[in-house]
Chain A
């Protein structure tokens, strides 16, 4: 099996897996970075969202062979001590119910706010629409993204 030199959370990490292995399962099964979640496996729910050179992508549909030397950042690598303003806003707005989708929500929000630092409510809704929250915590997710924007 091929060996891939991945750049995950600022660390060069070799992994030996089949070329079609989705980044999600490399992170979870091989690197034990378990914050990135499996929800649907077809890029529809957003629970597996990570950053690929700063862009939010669905790791469940991204084969490891296409990652190359891109900078991958997962929820674990977002900040030291949950100090990122989006993580702080998530706590302040008390967003989580079950919490399972929240890493993906946070990763989507961080990438979005980088591009759109002062979003409108409608822009937030459009940006976050791809991330499912089965508990229906959407009101607070929206509130937290707007709160994080106001903190910067």
Chain B
């Protein structure tokens, strides 16, 4: 019977197997790229300072423990590639495992913000290079030869003059006794044989076999299952009738905790059935909101005279007063659920002596802090094992479902696995916030952009703008401000938070402004960048030359301005997180309707680590960005989501994807991350191409609800 294997016990076992080999600790995430330090191989687990382990077993197996959660960004492969590159390891002998939460050993065990690779890049290289250095010293000493006559090659140290060689496994024990110098040489990037190459996902074998590696697959003998009924937003429990549910086969408990009612039982189907028999009535507990009311709310927030101003350059009002031409436009997006295909779930076992938590989370550390606070149990008594995540998209940065499992286990005094259904995911909260933007641009008589205003109004969006975004820096008079509405509808980070829609609005508006100025959209961006280069205004957070390069490269690759007859093109470019992505979308008209054919994308994420993974991230982000711009819609009636499952919440499917032609700028810069950056520009490229093809501006998402697409959407249903 298959069991879940990636457990703490398994992790410890793997660690202890490496005793006697070479073990290096290194900080994956700390701000300073400290040198790795030799660990006490006999007692590695309690080593107090050093944060992760690269170990070499006697048989030559290289164990790499990946501390941060894997949700499909393929970090387990990329991290290992960087270490193995500098180590000159035999890639076939590298084994990568997920490490559990351990704040003594790791920093920032978190998946989010496209930040892992940029943070870890130098650290991982030094870790690999240090081990290589020690192995080389060990061999040279053993042979009594000059170290300069030895080289590291694919898991061996070779003495060039004599042809003698020893494997890393044979050298590991001696290498572990050598003192590590302050600095070791890193490889020249022209000698990279792993970094930048397409390397297959290290977990493919598990995935194609259906091995139980996900949180939902985790099983513990004696555990019970639980589903939870949560209240509509802005409501609280008035009364509960759980008698019928409690009487159903397999149900062991029906109980209230907070404003939730849990059904606990012996199998998933039995509790799902019982949940249908549960009767809970709710009453108002604050604002009970409907999407229909949000239209008026947005209009009112747009009029507010108390905005929060995030950036102010020059004299905006004067610029608009003296403008030759003013362009104004509004854009709006709905709430969106994340919908990772693996629903939320978590295992918790609250025992008198401590708490065990196992499951899919992007933020194990914050989840543990919250459980500690909730139960009043010190963090030192709480363990968190991180399973593979069946997608995250930001949803698993929230730990509400972890708290549910912990609280329930504490109440029923049993190990429990809380499972959300798809309906729970779509109706249960923490959404991409709904936002409306109003842009205004002032042009002078020569068509120069002399004034720029942006107001973002959002529902639980926080700062719904990114005030230093381009064209800030290139416009003499600029004001960016927001107005916030606080709502009971819960929101959170959604892949490329805020910018997943803001980028669409900005890039569509710049297209509108270019048209109004009588300029080509690509030339218009380049002209603005040139202004930022020659006469910068205020703070500039983007790199003008990297921006410029992706624009020029995508224009060339997509044949911008010279596209074949029948193809209409739209352009978009974005600086997101720390990377630059420019896109051109090709649209053709088919039976009087625009059809998205292809998206050309040029990304500058610095050094690509894994070409296969990088292409995957860019294509996936474009499919994600396009799919949600086209179809993603969540609406509310009296605090309750009006969509529940995939029959009335539409996700993009294979027949709807555009072709993607992705390439990367090879500039030798350190890597800057790629989990999110290709998503934000997509909606704008698509909408601008559709405008070119049809003369119609798409200003609201989802596009399928706009008049242009209404008939297409109904055909597809």
Contact = CB atoms under 8 A, between A and B. Distances in A.
Contact of B627 (A17, A91, A130, A136): A136
A37 interface: yes
B210 A35 contact: yes
Interface string B73-98: 11000000000000000000000000
Contact of A136 (B2, B340, B621, B647): B621
A21 B2 CA distance: 22
Interface residues of B, number: 66
A27 to B, nearest CB: 10
B646 A40 contact: yes
A129 B204 contact: no
14 contacts: A17-B269, A28-B268, A37-B390, A40-B646, A42-B646, A76-B209, A96-B207, A99-B72, A129-B655, A130-B653, A132-B651, A134-B393, A135-B391, A138-B654
A97 B620 contact: yes
A151 interface: no
Contacts of B653: 129-130, 132, 138
Nearest to A26: B269
Contact of B208 (A28, A40, A91, A100): A91
Nearest to B426: A40
A129 B72 CA distance: 21
A75 B210 contact: yes
B627 A32 contact: no
Contacts of A45: 341, 422, 646
Instruction: Give the 6 A-B residue pairs with the shortest CB-CB distance, closest first.
Output: A35-B210, A136-B623, A100-B390, A98-B72, A75-B210, A97-B72
Interface stretch (B211-219, B286-294, B315-323, B463-471): B211-219
B71 interface: yes
Given A18-B270, A28-B268, A135-B391, A99 B200 contact: no
A45 B208 CA distance: 18
Contact of B200 (A30, A41, A91): A91
A137 B659 CA distance: 12
Contacts of B388: 98-99
Interface of B: 1-3, 71-74, 198, 200-201, 203-214, 216-217, 219, 225, 249, 267-270, 272-273, 339-343, 388-393, 421-422, 612, 616, 619-624, 627, 645-647, 651-655, 657, 659-660
A25 B227 CA distance: 15
A98 B71 contact: yes
Contact of A132 (B209, B273, B621, B646): B646
Place the interface of chain A in its size category.
35 or more
A47 to B, nearest CB: 6
Given A35-B212, A99-B203, A44 B646 contact: yes
A134 B341 contact: yes
A3 interface: no
A74 B71 CA distance: 24
A44 B620 CA distance: 20
Contacts of B654: 125, 128-129, 131, 133, 138, 141-142
Nearest to A122: B655
Contacts of A82: 205, 208-209
A54 B203 CA distance: 27
Interface string A6-32: 000000000001101110010011101
A140 B389 CA distance: 20
A1 B219 CA distance: 24
Interface in A76-132: 76, 82, 87, 90-92, 94-103, 106, 125-126, 128-132
Contacts of A99: 72, 201, 203, 206-207, 213, 388, 390
Nearest to A106: B208
Nearest to A36: B210
B391 to A, nearest CB: 5
Contacts of B623: 136, 138-139
B646 A21 contact: no
Contact of B624 (A102, A103, A136, A141): A136
Contact of B657 (A33, A97, A98, A139): A139
A52 interface: no
B342 A136 contact: no
Given A90-B208, A97-B74, A136 B657 contact: yes
